[in-house]
């Protein structure tokens, strides 16, 4: 009897629910969503699961109703004996189910059972629908190891509100700061920082933001503020009770700036001269000089060529090269970025004569063009809205097809409603007709207007990420309400600065690079050693594959040779992403088949470590007669001077006394084979963390 008692209770009539007719979208889909039935990992995946497919997160109620009631000869539901329905038997684990027992006996079970007993109604099309969501509280300041229960309320089209906490989905964007349970209980960890917790229900989302200050007495610092960047960073650090690290050394700064803005190492002479320079403004002068170099244009053209998919495979050699030359020349001449974007979005003419036209030869489908433009220039991902509502944002299918219509030569039809969708920008109301003429023109005008909520912020965020190592919004191309910036005031200020300076990217880079924030040491202090989001210190940055390849070649003094690319000796100058290079492939060069920043792999691997330790190509450069080691051994008879030159070449600094002693002791052990001993030393320097990271 004990086993059957819960079942008998569950099967009791739901008297309170019977007073109101069922509505499939409002009553049943939230239950299916609550237990993950329509998630992308279960029956919501593209092919469904076990022959049963639901739309992702209930984005197509009509199709889901049909799948439950009509498909498989209606075997999933049993109106005559609701409790024997396959849906309920599998959900509760009474019948074998690949997903296990998901549905507990209780209110949700009774809701499904009573809906089946009522004849599985779809419900009235005039029933009130959810129009917005709010979460309580909206924000909070919590101590480490604390808890906060969230409540979620849905507002309906008839004006009423309903507590939907039990059926909402929750997700946090910073799990090392706070986690959230399936019931909306937020638990902070012992790491100071900020997190955003998303609540989602029937296609609507809301966000709870929390701050977790570092416990203890308020900390203070006496570091100067060089510009508004530092003022806004300091304001955030004060809230977190975190102090910034000290300023980095001149040696660290010169190496950092060279790698960030040119993808090259400073030479030993450059490093020596910069450190010896007593000018108060030498750092600002260095940045200004680097931004005018051809190497700057090479590096930043590579970054935009990745996103804009300069790809020889679909374009052919000549057109891909023409496309790349347009990108690089735009950067070399410091073309205002709004002009750059307009030229690409509205490009027309022969593809073998007009470089940016080739964007539309690589990205050919209207929907793919709309998604790429949104992701690259607005930082917004709308691809998933092609098939269903965005699971973490406000974008619906109508938004996706509204953007698609700008690039479609004909009419655009909503796949679910079968109604025509007219071209309209993200976040705007749909007009009664498409724009006349080239629809891309009004889109480009909307994108680059100063009041556009995405364009300037996206550019500011990308430049910040390329300079500081991570974005204020991270990932940089996933801007949404449920993934807010770590410092929204700073992002707004940077965007405003861009607009005021007519989208001059070099001015923005110079502003960031001359801030104290950019110039902080990577050495943490007692308050900020666990900070990964708020820029209280310099972060170790892994160089892109092309930059690392060039660093190795430059340090060892032997240029790289690229098969099929005569005349190119630096990987950063490779405009062709298909140029063969085992090293670049191994270290994460993107294939340029999507516009996602995630294509460039930055995670380390064992294969990379083994390559640097055992590569025959690297060994050949170490031992090359014209290489750095051979040249320095011939030129420097004194071991101490030889070691100093090596350290300046690899690290842009002189060795410490301990390092100098260790290195010279090693060289003295092999008086008859000084060059081989020096090669061993250079190999060790090259494999060090200090060389392999920008810091």
* 10-residue averages of pLDDT along the chain (695 residues): 43 49 90 81 72 79 86 81 88 79 86 92 91 95 96 95 94 92 95 92 91 93 96 97 97 98 98 97 98 98 97 94 98 98 97 97 95 96 75 80 93 87 93 95 97 97 97 93 92 98 98 98 95 95 96 96 86 91 94 90 91 94 96 96 98 98 96 96 97 97
Residue 226 falls inside a structural domain: no
Whether residues 323 and 351 fall in one domain: yes
User: CA 376, 382, 387 angle in degrees (round to 5)?
Assistant: 145
Q: Are residues 27 and 65 in the same domain?
A: yes
Domain extent, residue 158, equals 130-212
- Give me the sign of the Cα torsion angle 687, 689, 691, 693: positive
The answer to whether residue 627 sits within a structural domain is: yes
**Burial of residue 683, with CB atoms counted within 10 A of its CB: 0-12 exposed, 13-18 middle, 19 or more buried:** middle
Same domain membership, residue 159 and residue 32: no
Q: Are residues 352 and 440 in the same domain?
A: yes
pLDDT at res. 389: 65
**Residue 135 falls within a domain, yes or no?**
yes
Domain stop point among 429, 447, 465: 447
Q: For the beta carbon of residue 426, count every other beta carbon within 10 angstroms.
A: 20
Q: Verify that 302 and 283 share a domain, yes or no.
A: no
Q: Which two tokens stand for residue 582?
A: 């085992």
Task: Mark whether 100 and 207 lie in a shared domain.
Answer: no
Residue 41 CB contacts under 8 Å (≥ 6 apart), including other chains: none
Flag whether 241 is in a domain. no
Measured distance CA(497)–CA(491) in Å, rounded: 10
Cis peptide before 388 (omega within 30 of 0): no
Total of domains in the chain: 5
Of 591, 585, 562, which is closest to residue 574 (Cα–Cα)? 562
Q: Does residue 279 share a domain with residue 304?
A: no
Q: State the DSSP code for 146.
A: -
Half-sphere exposure of 128 (CA within 13 A, CB side): 13
> Would you say 514 and 283 are in contact if contact means Cβ atoms under 8 Å apart?
yes
Cα(201)–Cα(475) distance, integer angstroms: 24
Contact 191, 176 (CB under 8 A): yes
The span from the CA of 657 to the CA of 419, in Å, is 76
Are residues 439 and 405 in contact, defined by beta-carbon separation less than 8 angstroms? yes
Angle at 323 between CA 425 and CA 328, to 5 degrees: 95
Helix residue ranges, H only, 481-580: 488-500, 505-513, 545-556
Question: Using an 8 Å Cβ cutoff, are 423 and 386 in contact?
Answer: no
Please tell me the predicted confidence (pLDDT) of residue 390. 65
Verify that 42 and 86 share a domain, yes or no.
Answer: yes
Whether residue 464 is contained in a domain is answered as no
| CA atoms of 109 and 169, how far apart (whole Å) | 18
Does a structural domain hold residue 633?
yes
Please give the distance of CA 610 from its chain centroid, rounded to a whole number: 28
148 - beta bridge partners? 186
Residue ending a domain, choose from 259, 290, 321:
290
Q: State the Cα–Cα distance between residues 98 and 90, nearest whole angstrom.
A: 9
Q: Is the domain of 302 the same as that of 443? A: yes
Residue 609 in any domain: the answer is: no
**312 and 280 part of one domain:** no
Q: Tell me whether residue 244 is in a domain.
A: no
Q: Are both 401 and 303 inside the same structural domain? A: yes
| Domain's final residue, options 398, 426, 447 | 447
Tokens of 525: 């202090």
Pick from 137, 130, 94, 88: nearest CA to 111 = 88
Model pLDDT, residue 53: 82
Let me know whether 285 and 310 are in one domain: no
At residue 44, the pLDDT reads 66
Scored b (16 or more CB within 10 A) or e, 487-520 reads beebbbbbbebbbeeebbbbbbbbbbbbbbbbbb
Q: What is the CATH number of the domain that holds 175?
A: 2.60.40.10
Residue 680 has φ and ψ, to the nearest 5°, of -60, -40
């Amino acid at each position: 009897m004990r086993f059957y008692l819960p079942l008998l209770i569950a099967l009791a009539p739901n008297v309170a629910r019977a007073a109101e007719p069922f509505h499939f979208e409002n009553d049943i889909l939230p239950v299916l969503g609550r237990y993950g039935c329509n998630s992308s990992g279960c029956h919501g995946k593209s092919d469904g699961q076990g022959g049963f497919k639901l739309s992702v997160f209930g984005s197509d109620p009509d199709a889901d109703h049909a799948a439950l009631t009509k498909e498989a000869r209606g075997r999933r539901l049993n109106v005559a004996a609701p409790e024997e329905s396959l849906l309920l038997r599998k959900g509760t684990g009474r019948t074998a189910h690949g997903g296990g027992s998901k549905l507990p006996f209780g209110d949700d079970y009774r809701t499904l059972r009573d809906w089946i007993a009522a004849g599985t109604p779809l419900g009235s099309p005039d029933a009130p629908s959810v129009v917005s969501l709010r979460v309580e509280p909206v924000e909070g300041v919590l101590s480490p190891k604390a808890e906060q229960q969230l409540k979620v309320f849905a507002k309906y089209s008839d004006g009423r509100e309903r507590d939907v906490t039990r059926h909402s989905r929750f997700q946090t964007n910073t799990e090392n700061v706070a986690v959230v349970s399936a019931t909306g209980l937020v638990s902070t960890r012992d790491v100071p920082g900020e997190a955003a917790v998303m609540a989602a229900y029937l296609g609507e989302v809301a966000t709870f933001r929390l701050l977790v200050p570092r416990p203890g007495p308020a900390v203070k610092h006496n570091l100067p503020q060089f510009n508004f960047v530092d003022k806004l960073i300091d304001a955030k650090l004060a809230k977190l009770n975190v102090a910034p690290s000290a300023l980095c050394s001149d040696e660290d700064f010169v190496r950092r700036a060279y790698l960030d803005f040119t993808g090259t190492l400073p030479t030993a002479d450059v490093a020596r001269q910069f450190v010896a320079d007593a000018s108060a403004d030498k750092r600002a002068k260095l940045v200004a000089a680097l931004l005018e170099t051809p190497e700057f244009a090479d590096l930043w053209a590579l970054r935009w060529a990745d996103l804009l998919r300069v790809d020889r495979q679909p374009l052919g050699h000549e057109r891909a090269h023409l496309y790349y030359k347009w990108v690089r020349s735009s950067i070399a001449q410091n073309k205002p970025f709004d002009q750059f974007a307009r030229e690409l979005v509205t490009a027309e003419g022969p593809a073998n004569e007009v470089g940016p036209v080739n964007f539309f030869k690589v990205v050919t489908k209207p929907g793919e063009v709309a998604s790429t433009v949104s992701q690259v220039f607005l930082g917004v991902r709308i691809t998933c809205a092609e098939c269903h509502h965005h699971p973490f944002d406000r974008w619906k299918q109508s938004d996706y097809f509204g953007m698609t219509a700008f690039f479609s030569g004909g009419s655009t039809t909503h796949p679910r409603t079968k109604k025509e969708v007219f071209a309209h920008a993200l976040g705007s109301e749909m007009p009664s007709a498409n724009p006349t003429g080239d629809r891309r023109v009004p889109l480009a005008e909307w994108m680059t207007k100063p009041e556009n909520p995405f364009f300037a912020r996206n550019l500011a965020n990308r430049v910040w990420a390329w300079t500081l190592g991570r974005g204020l919004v991270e990932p940089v191309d996933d801007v949404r309400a449920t993934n807010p910036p770590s410092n929204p005031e700073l992002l707004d200020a940077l965007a405003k600065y861009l607009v005021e300076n007519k989208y001059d990217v070099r001015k923005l880079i110079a502003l960031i690079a001359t801030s104290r924030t950019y110039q902080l040491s990577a050495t943490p202090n007692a308050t900020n050693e666990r900070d990964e989001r708020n820029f209280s210190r310099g972060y170790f940055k892994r160089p892109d594959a092309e930059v690392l390849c060039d660093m190795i070649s430059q340090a060892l003094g032997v240029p790289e040779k690229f098969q099929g690319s005569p005349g190119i000796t630096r990987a950063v100058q490779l405009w062709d992403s298909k140029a063969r290079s085992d090293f670049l492939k191994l270290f994460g060069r993107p294939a340029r088949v999507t516009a996602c920043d995630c294509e460039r792999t930055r995670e380390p691997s064992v294969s990379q470590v083994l390559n640097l330790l055992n590569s025959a190509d690297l060994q050949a450069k170490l031992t090359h007669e014209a290489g750095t080691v051979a040249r320095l051994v011939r030129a420097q008879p004194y071991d101490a001077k030889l070691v100093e030159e090596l350290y300046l070449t690899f690290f842009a600094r002189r060795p410490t006394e301990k390092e100098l002693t260790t290195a010279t002791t090693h060289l003295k052990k092999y008086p008859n084979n000084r060059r081989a001993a020096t090669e061993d030393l250079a190999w060790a320097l090259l494999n060090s963390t200090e060389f392999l990271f920008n810091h």
